[in-house]
Structure 1
Amino acid sequence: MKNILSSLLILLVTCSQAQLVSDKTNAIRIDASQSVEGEVILPFISWEFPTREYTNSQEKKTKFVASIESSTPIKEVKLGIGKKRGAKPLATTTIEVPENTLKFQVEKDIYLRDGENVVSLIVTSEDGGTVVDYRNVLVGLDAISKAIDINRKDYALLIGTDKYDNWSDLVNPVYDVETISGLLSENYNFDTEVLTNPEQDDFLVKIKEYSQKKYKPQDQLLIFIAGHGQFDESFGEGYIVTKGSLQNDEAKTSYIPHSVLRNIIDNIPCEHILLVMDVCFSGTFDPVIARSRASVYEDLDDAELLVRKLSKKTRRYLTSGGKEYVSDGVAGSHSPFAQRFIEILKSRGGDDRIITLHEIYPVMQRLKTLPRTGEFGQNEKDSDFVFVAK
């Protein structure tokens, strides 16, 4: 987590591997009692629920769902319940797997006791490779303040405009938001929606829809906007340009003012919101041009870090520039800003699979046009936005 630049380099080396295994999850064991010839190809476990390693629940009954893939037949699948990772489970159940199965889905309702529960999924292939993966669930009414809510969700609304009635067309915004949407959905379990080439009314109505959603305390919302932007020196205001915006609109009534966008987003009843804008003059979103607030954190375990991040009300933004034009890039490629953002998401956060906004900004600063970051509205001190890879 602490060195995304290193993670980006590691990504190039590891992208061809079937599975990246750390000492925290997907622990590997080889059955030494069997005679194993050649390379052992390990099964791959992908949790569908809970997607995060450390969560909490006020409900004792929880359905655990995971997908298993193996290039050699799956020999045995077990679910265990215990108090500590790595220790022998207090109870285990064997799940029947048909012969010669290479893909298998586990769905099991488990009754958990109050307090800490460690659920282990143990998968053994016929060639002797065993993979163990864990999910920690804290159960009880006092759990909310101590761990990550098992039902928390991350949402992303991505708006890209590259076709304009009165402005010059762009080449990359729709491509950028669709690519980022795929990464957020597949790698970080975001519930994503893409809006392309909206009119002014469509843009505002869609934002309004997100203001009417019901959010839980630890839910997050990412709003990503790519397209043309404008700034008026007389009004001292920046604007989002939509599909039908006029080229020479003296009153700016066909644009969306940053001040209006700030207020609308600030009033969305989600505790944790990050606005990212890959738009010309986007740095003028903040009346005081983009202030960067970097923080240094002590070493915490994953659960403690995420609880800290999700305990502060977040109203933060990241923009592709300040009071200036920014590059749209070339056709068939991404904009420089979007490309760097995509590279960071592809890194999956390194060993702990967590990326924070405070880590993203230093990497984005290497761009030729300096991005800006800051806060708005009801933001609380030391707030942050987190991306947690599956």
Structure 2
Amino acid sequence: MMKSLKINLNLLLIVAFWWLSFGLLEAQNEHRGKIKATSLRQEYLPKITWIYPSSPSVDRNQRAELIFCVKSPLNLAIQSLTLVKDKKEIPLKLSQLKKGGKCGNGGSQYNYIIEFVVDDIDRELEFSVKATNEAGTSKSATRKVTAKNVDIRKLVKKLKPDFNRKKYYALIFAVNDYKNQKKLKRPIEDAQRLSRVLKEYYGFEVETYPNPTRGEVIDALNRVKKKLDPKNYKHNNLLIFYSGHGTVVDKNGYWMLKDAGDKPSSWLSNAEVLSLINTLAFNCRDILMVIDACYSGAIFTPNSEIKSGSLPIQVLNKAESYQAITSNFLRFIREDSPFVDCLAGALRNNELPFVTSSRIFNSLKSCFLSISPENIPQFRKLNVKANINIGDFIFYQKSKAVEMQRK
């Protein structure tokens, strides 16, 4: 009997040991499962990379440019992107964002690259980005932007002598009446409206060309070079405006002037325009093109995005700028486009003595999209001269500078 009891006791110990081992194994497996699930969830998380500002907190002067990239792993589609500004959610429309591309210099490929500009920051603001993909996983990232107080009168006193030496020229080309193409109603009227604003508010010397031919545009661009004294290179500013028909063939963009026929040889190509501007650039440090035509964004080359918006105006004023504002990228645009109305309004409503073209563009874009959301205006660098091109075309209201100093 004692022997039987001893056997039963040993058997009980074996069963207990087995049960304990099984329990520990189950616990380990459960723990590993949680770790694996957590790791798997981490793999599903979207990735957000801030390009600018790069640090969690950065000081900026009245204006902030936010640039960040969003990537979703395992080919999971991004379903929503939300920017939170000062606790207020701003849903971002995926259809209007730049898709694909490398994030930063030498970075990896991303689903979306987002640029968001905030004007007139007068305090610390916190921005948060939340990305959600089709797996239902979300990721957030936060940055702070702090404003510095700016003494406008001191800025005017410092910059006024330099700006008083600046020369502002504008060439305005607009075509209503075509020999072989559909006639338009708005271009000349829009051109006249823009000309008045440039003359009356900013002191431009304006040359207007209603219904020019291809040859007349080329002659005008060659002729203006004589006005641009190379000795005054850093103080010369040239604005070139075109409104009329535009087209694109095999990714090559064209302006269609009054004498435009059915063959591309009768059109003015973007390549020819840029070649002429390259020659002007040796006499003029700042050139801004404004194009209101179908497929006008074809004038840009890849990687032409502008990253200079957050630099102080003192820095922008010392650097070269060759830029363009277009009413669309590579799309047809309706004839009653509000593009020039929004541009003229942004220039007319500006209350500052100095205003950058990037700031004017932001006002224009906001106005334009509220009326015509099917097209997205573009503001990018032109492929002109082999330089860094980090400056900005700066509009100067002399009357505002005088008024500011009297206060």
**Is the deviation greater in 283-292 or in 366-375?**
283-292
Structure 1 2/244 Cα, relative in aligned 2: closer, same or farther at 3 Å?
farther
After TM superposition, the structure 1 = structure 2 runs for residues 1-390 of structure 1, keeping only pairs within 5 Å, are 54=157, 147-148=161-162, 150-215=164-229, 216=232, 217-233=234-250, 236-246=251-261, 248-249=262-263, 252-268=264-280, 269-288=283-302, 291-293=305-307, 295-298=309-312, 305=313, 307-329=314-336, 335-347=337-349, 349-350=350-351, 352-366=352-366, 367=369, 368=373, 369-376=375-382, 377-378=384-385, 380-389=388-397, 390=399
Unaligned runs of 5+ in 2: 1-60, 64-116, 121-150, 400-407
Task: Tell me the secondary structure at the aligned position of residue 220 of structure 1.
Answer: strand
Is 1:290–1:372's contact at 8 Å kept on the other side of the alignment?
no
**Structure 1 Cα separation of the partners of residues 355 and 179 of structure 2:** 38
Per-residue deviation, 1:354: 2.1
Structure 1 244/380 Cα, relative in aligned 2: closer, same or farther at 3 Å?
same
**Structure 2 Cα separation of the partners of residues 337 and 290 of structure 1:** 21
Equivalent pairs counted in the alignment come to: 241
**Structure 2 Cα separation of the partners of residues 240 and 189 of structure 1:** 28
Is 2:346–2:364's contact at 8 Å kept on the other side of the alignment?
no
Structure 1 239/212 Cα, relative in aligned 2: closer, same or farther at 3 Å?
same
**Structure 2 Cα separation of the partners of residues 289 and 312 of structure 1:** 19
Per-residue deviation, 1:336: 1.1
Q: 1:113 maps to what in 2?
A: none
**Structure 2 Cα separation of the partners of residues 294 and 54 of structure 1:** 24
**Structure 2 Cα separation of the partners of residues 364 and 189 of structure 1:** 21
Is 1:266–1:315's contact at 8 Å kept on the other side of the alignment?
no
Is 1:290–1:322's contact at 8 Å kept on the other side of the alignment?
no
Deviating above 3 A after TM superposition, structure 1's stretches of 4 or more consecutive aligned residues are 1-7, 52-56
**Structure 2 Cα separation of the partners of residues 289 and 365 of structure 1:** 20
Between Structure 1 and Structure 2, whose CA radius of gyration is higher?
2
Higher relative helix content: 2
**Structure 2 Cα separation of the partners of residues 162 and 289 of structure 1:** 33
Unaligned runs of 5+ in 1: 8-22, 26-51, 57-135, 137-146, 299-304, 330-334
Could you tell me the TM-score, scaled by structure 2's length?
0.55
What is the letter of the counterpart of residue 258 of structure 1? N
